[in-house]
Amino acid sequence: MSLTSVELFAGAGGLALGVALAGFRTRAVVEWDQWACDTVRENQARGYPLVMDWPVIQGDVRKWIENADIAALGRDLDLVAGGPPCQPFSMGGKHKAHMDQRDMFPVTVDVIRRLRPRAFIIENVKGLTRSAFHNYYQYILLHLQFPELSKKPDEGWSDHYRRLQQHQTTHKRSAQGLTYRVSPTLVNAANFGVPQKRERVFIIGFRSDQDVRWSFPRDTHSLDALLHDQWVTGAYWDRHEVARSHRPPPPARLVATLNRLRGLGLPPMHAPWQTIRDALKELPEPHAQDSCILNHRLQTGARAYPGHTGSPLDFPAKTLKAGDHGVPGGENMLVRPDGSVRYFTVRESARLQTFPDGYELHGSWSEAMRQLGNAVPMLLGRVVAASVAEHLLMASARVLANESQASILASVA
């Protein structure tokens, strides 16, 4: 069975690539930013297989859905996926939430209402869960649960929220209408094998008629396992051929955790967190001149300052940032073992976001880094989408089994 998807706010394609790897066939990829669209188009021109058949629509999602061929897009559509712009809720933004013109959650709900997908995957920043946004976050979740209960003209979101709450109280399972079972989860990408400590909110919904009970996949990687690998067994340093005299001491803040692990005497059940050293293995040190390796050119001028100290080599990277006006902040830096710093190259950043080495990021260093800073790590996108795909396929199998049983009973009667 072929599963189908529509991707909103696609950016450079991190989530869309993960969805494609999970087995979905993309019917539309919608993104307003020309640079990001050019990244996808450039990879199509280069013959990158995962994106070859993507129909790329450059433009505003609001205008696209107004003019879209709903019958062609929405017929048996399995999934709508996307990350609405995060700036209204970002820790580094202006925190305007619903007052920010870039708040695309209402149009996301509108797309879901019109296309009626069997499931959706929505990703956003951790800042969405801040106490200051609590009511609006709950409003978003409730509106996703009941997408057909639209906001009236001139009705504020808070009045609409109260109406949704009343509807939820009186709603019966037998009632007609489009409803979803919605599951929000705050996730650290490092716990799923991404070499980056990147906390993001995933909101997953399954159409109620699918009868799916879903929960977020279990963590596969952990800090405890990394510390055990580095300073209990030393296997990490052996694997990277780091001489004992060059191995750093454990950070003081982690000594208590390390002593606990030594006391347990058993290795952790998870795999170790992936580090920057793991991610950049076999990549040569970059230079300012052009490199034969795609997107691997040194950007000079890096410096550390308070609040922007870079990422140590032997831990997952700090969260890659898109920066202000496309210029990344100091957190997009590597801290070498000798304490010096340099910027990550675009290719190194792509690895930290688990993009494949054959995928090219279009534009200047700052532009490519902006795209990567806004992206969903491809590996994390695949983990989530694969779990959603599994549950959709099982739901389809149950329907077929019930239909087959009913047919047999009817023939016997």
Residues annotated as catalytic are: 86
Taking the chain, what is the end-to-end CA distance rounded to the nearest angstrom? 31
- Residue with token string 């790590």: 377
CA distance 142 to 165: 8
Convert 88-109 to b/e letters by CB count within 10 Å (16 or more is b): bbbeebebebbeeeebbbbbbb
Write b or e for each residue in 307-344: b if 16 or more Cβ atoms lie within 10 A of its Cβ, otherwise e: ebebbbbbbbbbbbbbbeebebbbbbbbbeeeeebbbb
Burial of 213 (0-12, 13-18, 19+ CB in 10 A): exposed
Indicate the DSSP class of residue 369: H
Whole-number Å distance between alpha carbons of 216 and 201: 11
Q: What angle do CA 97, 108, 26 make, to 5 degrees?
A: 135
Residue with tokens 């009626």: 116
Q: Amino acid identity, residue 161?
A: Y
Q: How far is CA 230 from CA 195, 223, 282, in A?
A: 15, 10, 20
> Rounded to an integer, what distance in angstroms lies between the CA atom of residue 406 and that of residue 403?
5
H helix intervals, 197-337: 223-227, 235-239, 255-264, 276-279
* 3-class DSSP state of 6: strand
Strand partners, 176: none
> Contact 103/124 with Cβ under 8 angstroms?
no
Q: Report the C-alpha gap between 297 and 264 in whole angstroms.
A: 45
Smallest CA-to-CA distance from 368 within 328, 335, 404, 403 is with 328
Coil, strand or helix: which one is 180? Answer: strand
Phi, psi of 70 (to 5 degrees): -60, -40
